[in-house]
Amino acid sequence: MVLAATSPLTRKLSAFAVLSEAELAVLAGLHGRRRCFAAGRDMAHQGQADQAAYILSSGWVCSYKLQPDGTRQIVDFQVPGDFLGLRSVLLRTSDHGFEPIVDIEAAEVLTGDLLEVFAQTPRLAMAILWAASRDEAMVVEHLVGIGRRDAGARMAHFLLELGARLALVGLGSREGYDCPLTQYHLADALGLSAVHVNRVLRQLRENGLVTFREGHVTLHDYRGLVAFAGFDPAYLDQTGPLLT
Amino acid sequence: MVLAATSPLTRKLSAFAVLSEAELAVLAGLHGRRRCFAAGRDMAHQGQADQAAYILSSGWVCSYKLQPDGTRQIVDFQVPGDFLGLRSVLLRTSDHGFEPIVDIEAAEVLTGDLLEVFAQTPRLAMAILWAASRDEAMVVEHLVGIGRRDAGARMAHFLLELGARLALVGLGSREGYDCPLTQYHLADALGLSAVHVNRVLRQLRENGLVTFREGHVTLHDYRGLVAFAGFDPAYLDQTGPLLT
């Protein structure tokens, strides 16, 4: 029970539903098959079939799509408490690849495990659907970012989103958070060149809003950054449980 | 039972799971509160709380996000069998607006209805999670399209995706489909100007690939268009039921 009470996924889902002891136990059961993966080595590649999904318990992962011309679009980053490849296990063929950014620990989840959880507790099924919906809302924001936001607002919005997600699982605050991403990751996620990323980060720092240096993001002026980015965190739905 | 057997949502979910009579009956029950909405009038606006989700049974809808500067990014179009605002009902505050493109008919679904369905049949819960995952996979493709594909490939990919989705619910084929979208819809979805959309469509027509005219998309050369777009439909997962 200690595991369930403190796992990042439990913390995250508790933002949607107040979970009973029985539900917490079912959730703990999903964390049974723990595995470690090394940084930089693909866990799944695009087009792969019959793969497992994972619940990330520590570390960072990026999910990406390769284009025929070899360019890479990073779709999202996963942080502790996030599912990896939930879509892949449901859609049979993985529509994306994912790769650990640092060494990670994750629990393997198969379709049968999910079906069993759903049969045992419909509220947990709703909570997992909530998490999937929230993931989709983030991808939508990234789409809007690339389609409609200038580079500065796009970067600011992205850093605020990461901060809010990490805060939900106890890994960040309005002051800042640890972040292992390189400028190449940021470039591939935001549709910018690494040089452009560098310039945008310098401007944000010089304007006293945020500093990203040596693996740490420092939010100097949270409100100023929110205004600059036009960041409305409602899509992250972190205001407290809906199902009580 | 006739309703359940023939509703577009039933056709769609049957691509994921072979549904029993009992499951079909539960799905039919979700279609109880039918409502009509007029073209061009918002069904939900961004930031609205406490709204319902809907299952679209006839007509087309677009979901979009407005930016602070008033520009609109269309995130996706919904066709019969799709959920409208499933994310909104789970995430409490709608992160997007949606607007019927033509007069539509849709069945209202509340959080309580979903919980009841989930409690009655975990397989249907999995199927709905599958549909949500597929929606997310489409948004991911749109993100990649805007981030990494040139205007021609982006348009071709988009028209092929729509065709595949419509074919799944019996509303299209590899020869073509009816489509009520205007060039303004296409522009707002693909991040292009209406003039640019016009030019791209003309080029695709002149190359003998596809004609979009008077509310109908004609696919002259399906394979050629697939090659031109780099279209791999695996992310739509329409190859037959996984859960049997």
Chain B nearest-CA distance from A117, in A, is: 9
Q: Are B234 and A93 within 8 A, CB to CB? A: yes
d(CA A36, CA A167): 24
Q: Does B18 touch chain A (CB under 8 A)?
A: no
Residue A1: the pLDDT is 39
Residue A59: the pLDDT is 97
Q: Is B55 helix (H, G, I), strand (E, B) or coil?
A: strand
Cα angle vertex B119, ends A1, A133, to 5°? 75
Order across the sheet with A97-100: list the strands: A72-78, A61-66, A97-100
Q: Does the domain formed by A2-133 have CATH 3.50.50.60?
A: no
Tell me how far apart the 2 most distant CA atoms of chain A are, in Å. 54
Q: In chain A, what is the straight-line distance between the N-terminal and C-terminal CA atoms, in Å? A: 20
Instruction: Name residues of chain B where pLDDT drops below 70.
Output: 1-5
d(CA A121, CA A76): 29
Q: Does A129 touch chain B (CB under 8 A)?
A: yes
Summarize pLDDT for B123-179 with one digit per residue, the tens: 999 999 999 999 999 999 998 888 888 999 999 999 999 999 999 999 999 999 999
Facing residues of B100 across strands?
A: B61
Residue B150 contacts by C-beta under 8 Å, 6 or more apart in sequence? none
Per-residue pLDDT band at A160 (split at 50, 70, 90):
very high
Residue A147: the pLDDT is 81
What's the Cα-to-Cα distance from A190 to each of A148, A193, B5, B139, B162, rounded to whole Å? 12, 9, 44, 16, 26
Q: Are B122 and A125 within 8 A, CB to CB? A: yes
Nearest to A68 among B16, B93, B230 (CB): B230
Q: How many Cβ atoms from other residues are within 10 Å of residue B34's Cβ?
A: 12
Q: Are A73 and B119 within 8 A, CB to CB? A: no
Residue B107: the pLDDT is 96
Class of domain B134-236: mainly alpha
Which of B63, B67, B118, B136 best tests the A interface by mutation, with the highest count of A CBs <10 A?
Answer: B136
Residue B3: the pLDDT is 46
Q: Are A230 and B68 within 8 A, CB to CB? A: yes
* Residue environment code for A37-62, b if the CB has 16+ CB neighbours within 10 A, otherwise e: beeeeebbebebeebbbbbbbebbbb
B64: left (phi over 0), alpha (psi -120 to 50) or beta: beta
Percent helix, strand, coil in chain B, to 5, is 45, 20, 30
Residue B4: the pLDDT is 44
Residue A6: the pLDDT is 77
| A136-236 to CATH, choices 1.10.10.10, 3.40.50.700, 1.10.1040.10, 3.10.129.10 | 1.10.10.10
Residue A92: the pLDDT is 77
Our CA dihedral for A205, A209, A213, A215, rounded to 10 degrees, sits at -160
Contact A147, A139 (CB under 8 A): no
Quote the mean pLDDT of chain B. Answer: 90
Q: Is the pLDDT of residue A32 over 80?
A: yes
SS (H, E, C) chain A: CHHHHHCHHHHHHCCCECCCHHHHHHHHHCCCCEEEECCCCCCECCCCECCCEEEEEECCEEEEEECCCCCEEEEEEECCCCEECHHHHHCCECCCEEEECCCEEEEEECHHHHHHHHHHCHHHHHHHHHHHHHHHHHHHHHHHHHHHCCHHHHHHHHHHHHHHHHHHCCCEECCEEECCCCHHHHHHHHCCCHHHHHHHHHHHHHCCCEEEECCEEEECCHHHHHHHHCCCHHHHCCCCCCEC
Q: Is the pLDDT of residue A4 over 50?
A: no
Better-predicted residue by pLDDT, A36 or A112: A36
Residue A137: list chain B partners with CB under 8 A. Answer: 87, 91, 95
d(CA B190, CA B151): 8
Residue A235: list chain B partners with CB under 8 A. Answer: 91, 93, 95
Chain B nearest-CA distance from A189, in A, is: 9
ipTM greater than 0.90, yes or no? no
Q: Are B144 and A73 within 8 A, CB to CB? A: yes
Q: Which of residues 28-87 of A touch B (CB under 8 A)?
A: 47, 65, 67-69, 71, 73, 75, 86-87
Q: Any idea where the domains of chain B sit in the sequence?
A: 134-236
**Highest-pLDDT range among A68-82, A213-227, B85-99:** A213-227
Q: Does A148 touch chain B (CB under 8 A)?
A: yes
Residue A49: the pLDDT is 74
Dihedral sign, Cα of residue B192, residue A190, residue B133, residue A87: positive
What's the Cα-to-Cα distance from B42 to each of A69, B38, B61, B159, rounded to whole Å? 39, 9, 10, 24
Residue A22: the pLDDT is 93
Percent of chain A with pLDDT over 90: 67
Residue of A nearest to B231 (CA): A68
Q: Does B139 touch chain A (CB under 8 A)?
A: yes
Residue B46: the pLDDT is 79
Phi/psi at B113 (5° precision): -60, -45
Q: How many Cβ atoms from other residues are within 10 Å of residue B241's Cβ?
A: 13
Residue A140: list chain B partners with CB under 8 A. Answer: 65, 75, 95-96, 139
Residue A238: the pLDDT is 83
Residue of A nearest to B192 (CA): A147
